[in-house]
Structure 1
Amino acid sequence: MDSSSSEGGGGAINEGMLYHEVQESKLCAVHCVNTALQGPFFSEFDLAALASDLDHTEQRMMLGAGDFLSHNVSLDGDFSIQVLQKALDVWDLQVIRLDSPVAEQAQIDPEKENAFICHLLDHWFCIRKVNGEWYNFDSLYAAPEHLSKFYLSAYLDSLKGSGWSIFLVKGNFPSECPMASLEASNGYGQWLLPEDAERITKSCNSAFFRTEKESGQMGLSDEETEMLFGIEDEGLKAAIAASLMDSSRVPETRPSSSANENKKSDAENA
C-alpha cells in the first residue's frame, strides 16, 4: 500500500498514520465523525451539545405542538444524521445522500471521492481515503481495514443492497491533526501505521478463518475452504470468502468488508 500521497497531492497527512477508534459503549457516531476527520476532534459531549442545539431549534419551531420528543439523540446515545452533519459542518464539510442526484458522479466513480459515512439501525461507521488509500474505519474492527479501489465500489453496492444508508462527505478535510493531541486522546482512539493496521487485520482474519473452519460455520465446501487457505494475500482471501459465503447462504443484514467482523466482545452494543 502506498501511503505517500494525500488527498491534496502533497505529503502524507498525520505523518502517514491512520487514526482509528475502537467501539466504546454506543459511541459509534463519535467514532464515525472522528475517523472521517482523522483525529479526536469530537467527544460524546460535543455531539450531545449539538443535538441539544438542534432540539431547541425544533422546539421553537414546534411551539404549542405538545410534548417534544428528541429525534437527534436517543435514550441509549445514538445520534441522528443531522447531528453528524452539524459536526462535520464545523469543518465546512457537506454530507449528501449517495442516492441523491447531486451525488451521481460519486455513485459512478466512488474511488474519486474522499469519504462515506454509513448507517443502519443504531450503528454508524466511516469509509475514508487516507493518503491515497481507502480504509474501512468501522469501530467494530480492531484496526482500519484496507479496501482496494475495485472492492470499494462492490462493498458500497453490498451495503446498499443490505439496507444501509450511505452518505457522501465532500469538502476540504483537515490536512493535519496535531500529534500532540495523542496525549489528550479520548481513550479509545489510536494512531496506527498502515503496516500495523494491516498486520492486525491479518491476525484477526486468520483467527476468524481458523475458528470458522474448526466450527464448520463458513458454509463452504471442503474444496472452497482448502482453496481459501491456499491464498496468501489476506485481503484477497477475505474478499473471496465474503463472496463465497454470500452465495452459499442468505446474506446477513450487515455485510462485512472482509470475512472477519473483528468485533469487540460488546459488539451488540454498537
Structure 2
Amino acid sequence: MEVIFHEKQEGSLCAQHCLNNLLQGEYFSPVELSSIAMQLDEQERMRMAEGGLSSTEYRTFIQQPSGNMDDSGFFSIQVISDALGVWGLELILFNSPEYQILGIDPINERAFICNYKEHWFTVRKLGKQWFNLNSLLTGPELISDTYLALFLAQLQQEGYSIFVVKGDLPDCEADQILQMIRVQQMQRPRLIGEDAALRDQSSQSSVTGVEGSQLYDESPMMDEDEENLQKALTLSRQQIDMEDEEADLRRAIQLSMQGGHRSEYTETSPCSVPQTSGTSNPGSLSQEELRQRRQLYFENQNQIKHEQRSDGNNATTDSVNTGADSGMNEEDMLRAAMKISLDTGGTKPEAQDK
C-alpha cells in the first residue's frame, strides 16, 4: 500500500487532493488551480458583458463572488474538469440517465470522482484492484470488485454526485506494481479526525497510567519510611530500658552486699525492706573492696545452699551457684544476685559481720 500516492486533507484543498490522487502524483498546486479558476471567471465575465456593461445581469454578476473558487481553497467542478482536460481526460456524470442507459458495469471503468457538499475525492483502479483515495482517510481503502457497485450506490443514496473519468490516465508506479501482485488489507483506514481523537485518548490514558503508577510507587516508600522510624524509636527505647535495668542491677547488688537496700530501690519493691543500720555508702568503697565483698557473698551463699535445701529458694540458689562456678559473665551474676536479694528479703550475709 505504500506505493500508492495518497494526499491527506489540508484545509479545504480537497479538489487538489482529488486530482493528485487520481493522477498519482503532485501534478497540481493551489496556485495552478487558482489560475484556472480566474481564467474561468474572466470567460464568464466576457460572456455576461455581451449583453451590455450597463445591463442588470452584468452588474449583478460583477458584484457576486467567484463561483469557481473561494478563500478557503474550494474549487468548482469546472476547475477540475479544465484541469483534467490538460491530460486529455473528461468527466461524465455517472448519475445521469444518459449514462445509466448505456448499462456500463462500473468495474470496467478506470476511475470515479465523487462530490458531496463541496468535498471531492477519487475512487480509482490500480492494477486489478479498486481503492478509495479519499483525502479524509488515513490511507487508501481497498474496495473489492463485488463491493464497488454497492459502494457507488450507497454514495448516490447519500446525495453524492459521481463522475466517471474517461480517457487514458498517466502511467504510475503503483499501477505497474499492482498489475503483478494483489494486496490484502487487514485493517481498514479510519477518518483522520477519528484517528486523531483515538491518539489523544490513548495519550491521556498513558499519562493517567503513569501518574497512577507514580502514586502507587510512592505509597510503599512512605510506608517504609514510617516503618524505619518506628524501628528506630523501638531500638532507642530498648537501649534506654537496658541502661536503666543495668543501673538498677548494679545498685541492687551493691546494696545486697552491704546488707540492705537503698530507700530509692525500696520504693519500687513489692514489699518494704528495712535498712540495716551501719550500712556504708557504696560510693565510698573501692573496686577491690567491692570485689572482695562480692566474693565473700557468693561463698556465703554456697554455704547457705546446704542449710536451706528444703526452702523454696533452693532452685534459685543452685542456679546462681552453678552460674558462678561455670564462669558466668558479670551481667548474669548481677541479675542472679539481684534475684537472690529480693527472694531472701535482704538477709545480711554473715561474711559482712566479720
TM-score category (smaller protein): 0.5 to 0.7
In structure 2, the partner of 1:160 is: 156
SS in 2 for 1:35: helix
Q: Is 2:135 the partner of 1:149?
A: no
Structure 1 residues 16-43: Cα deviation after superposition (integer angstroms, max 9, x where no partner): 9211101111111000011111111111
Matching of residues 1-270 of structure 1 within 5 Å: 17-63=3-49, 64=53, 65-66=58-59, 67=62, 68-104=64-100, 108-176=104-172, 198=185, 202=187, 204=189, 260-263=190-193, 265=196
* C-alpha RMSD of the superposition: 2.7
Change (3 A) 1:111 1:91: same
Q: What are the ranges of 5 or more consecutive residues in structure 1 without an aligned counterpart?
A: 4-15, 179-192, 205-259
Partners in 2 of 1:59 and 1:194 — Cα distance? 50
Q: Give the AA of the match of 1:112.
A: N
On the 8 A contact 1:18/1:194 being kept in 2, the answer is no
Distance 1:203 1:159 in 2: 18
Q: Which residue of 1 aligns with 2:284?
A: none
More RCO (CA 8 Å, sep 6+) = 1
Q: What secondary structure is seen at the aligned counterpart in 1 of 2:36?
A: helix
1:176–1:58 CA distance, 2 compared to 1 (3 A):
same
1:146 deviation in Å?
Answer: 0.5
Classify 1:53/1:162 alpha carbon distance in 2 versus 1 (closer, same or farther; 3 Å). Answer: same
Higher-Rg structure is 2
Q: Secondary structure at the match of 1:83?
A: helix
TM-score in terms of structure 2 length = 0.47
Q: 8 Å contact 2:81–2:90 — kept in the other structure?
A: yes
* Contact 2:114/2:160 (8 A) holds in 1: yes
Q: 1:100-135, CA deviations, whole angstroms, 9 ceiling, x for partnerless residues? A: 345337764101001000111121100000112100
CA distance in structure 1 between the aligned counterparts of 2:21 and 2:104, rounded to whole angstroms: 24
Report the structure, 1 or 2, having the larger strand content. Answer: 1
- Are residues 107 and 134 of structure 1, via their aligned partners in 2, closer, same or farther at CA, if it must alter by over 3 Å? farther
Distance 1:56 1:169 in 2: 26
Cα distance between partner residues in 1 of 2:188 and 2:108: 30
Q: Cα offset for 1:158?
A: 0.4
Q: Name the SS for the 1:20 alignment partner.
A: coil
Residues 41 and 101 of structure 1, relative CA distance in 2, 3 Å threshold: same
User: How far off its partner does 1:70 sit?
Assistant: 1.2
Aligned partners of 1:106 and 1:112 also within 8 Å = no
Q: Percent identity among equivalent residues?
A: 38
For the residues of structure 1 that align with 2:104 and 2:110, how far apart are their CA atoms? 14
1:203: Cα distance to partner? 6.9
User: In 2, Cα distance between the equivalents of 1:24 and 1:149?
Assistant: 30
Instruction: Tell me how far apart the structure 1 counterparts of residues 160 and 5 of structure 2 sit (CA, whole Å).
Output: 24
CA distance in 1, matches of 2:95, 2:66: 26
Is 2:122–2:134's contact at 8 Å kept on the other side of the alignment? Answer: yes
Question: Partner letter of residue 261 of structure 1?
Answer: L
SS at match of 1:24: coil
Q: Which moved more, 1:95-104 or 1:58-67?
A: 95-104
Q: Point out where structure 2 has 5 or more consecutive residues left out of the alignment.
A: 175-180, 198-354
Pairwise CA distance, 1:141: 0.6
Letter in 2 for 1:58: E
Q: CA deviation at 1:262?
A: 4.2
